[in-house]
Amino acid sequence: MSSALPKVSIGLPVYNGERYLALTIDSILAQTFQNFELIISDNCSTDRSGEICRQYAAKDSRIRFFPSEVNRGVAWNFRRVFELARGPYFRWAPADDIFAPESVAACVEVLDANEDAVLCYPKTILVDGTGAMIGPYEDGLDLRSESAVERYCLAASGIGLVNVHYGLMRTEMVKKTRLIRHYPGADIVFLLELTLHGKFLEIDRPLFYRRMHEQASSNMKSSLPELQAYLDPSRKGRLFSRRWQTFSGQVVAVLRGPLSLTERMQLLYFLVRGVVAGRDEYLRELVAIARAILSRPRQL
């Protein structure tokens, strides 16, 4: 690899992704924008994922491959590829989705021209396990407001499949966030935190193909404890409250964000209103935790 640092870092975390991994890597290597590095972290896969990655890394010097001997969970793997990034722009790449050849180039052009934008993403086409088109998906997160409060509230109200999580971001701004944490919904909290640092810009072209198949994480029908273990195996068996964890993550993001006192108070009020509106669900989680604690066998 050249000693010059790449302009774009693409982080690909993978775990048992052999079915679509080669197609994803091929779509990245076929980008019209070539000044990038591809960082692949294999989280102790038990299938052929590691072998596939090594084969590609041996053929293309832009690929940096980092295998792990221990499965540390999805959240760790997503954080790891970012922490290894060297470019001023960064993008996560799932191991089963496809990027159109112009995807990186189009996003780089937009970020180069808009210094106040922290993320740029193209429109999404949903495809099935065979690659057949399901249809377009409207993310609706083109957040051009000068107000961080307005950007945050619009994102919190409209976020869905979080396809924008695979847009191109400014590395220095992502470093100011808490990144992906260890609980379900942490990807949403991360994106909401990022809105506090700048604008999200949408490219009005479908350049990202999101694969919806039975093994995709978005289709997981696991229980909350199983999801928690999937994100971080070391936390398996711990008591967990999804709504309260997400709420506390958002509060921390607002307290850490580059906001005035007035903006901070406005967003904290917005978050508390959300808890009040969903108080029945929040109370249900508290009751479930209390019951779990009381049902535990006492230590003699």
Neighbouring C-alpha atoms within 13 Å toward the C-beta of 281: 11
- 8 Å CB contact between 148 and 195: yes
What is the reported pLDDT for 1?
A: 45
One-letter amino acid for residue 144 of the chain: R
Whole-number Å distance between alpha carbons of 190 and 212: 22
Per-residue pLDDT of the chain (300 residues; tens, 9 = 90+): 456 899 999 999 999 999 999 999 999 999 999 999 999 999 999 999 999 999 999 999 999 999 999 999 999 999 999 999 999 999 999 999 999 999 999 999 999 999 999 999 999 999 999 999 999 999 999 999 999 999 999 999 999 999 999 999 999 999 999 999 988 899 999 999 999 999 999 999 999 999 998 766 555 445 666 776 777 787 776 767 889 999 999 999 999 999 999 999 999 999 999 999 999 999 998 998 888 788 777 655
Q: What are phi and psi of 60, to 5 degrees?
A: -135, 115
Whole-number Å distance between alpha carbons of 248 and 268: 11
Whole-number Å distance between alpha carbons of 238 and 231: 13
CB atoms within 10 A of CB 104: 25
Whole-number Å distance between alpha carbons of 24 and 93: 8
What is the reported pLDDT for 213?
A: 81
Q: Which two tokens stand for residue 8?
A: 């774009």
- 8 Å CB contact between 194 and 168: no
Burial of 243 per CB tally in 10 Å (0-12, 13-18, 19+): middle
Check: pTM over 0.85? Answer yes or no: yes
Q: What is the DSSP letter of 175?
A: T
Residues in the chain: 300
Domains in the chain: ranges and CATH = 8-218 (3.90.550.10), 222-295 (no CATH)
Q: Which two tokens stand for residue 268?
A: 């904290």
Q: How far is CA 123 from the centre of its chain?
A: 16
Q: Which two tokens stand for residue 273?
A: 């209103």
Whole-number Å distance between alpha carbons of 74 and 12: 11
- 8 Å CB contact between 35 and 6: yes
What is the reported pLDDT for 194?
A: 98
Q: Which two tokens stand for residue 216?
A: 């995709």
One-letter amino acid for residue 283 of the chain: L
CB atoms within 10 A of CB 24: 22
Q: Which residue has the tokens 């799932």?
A: 94
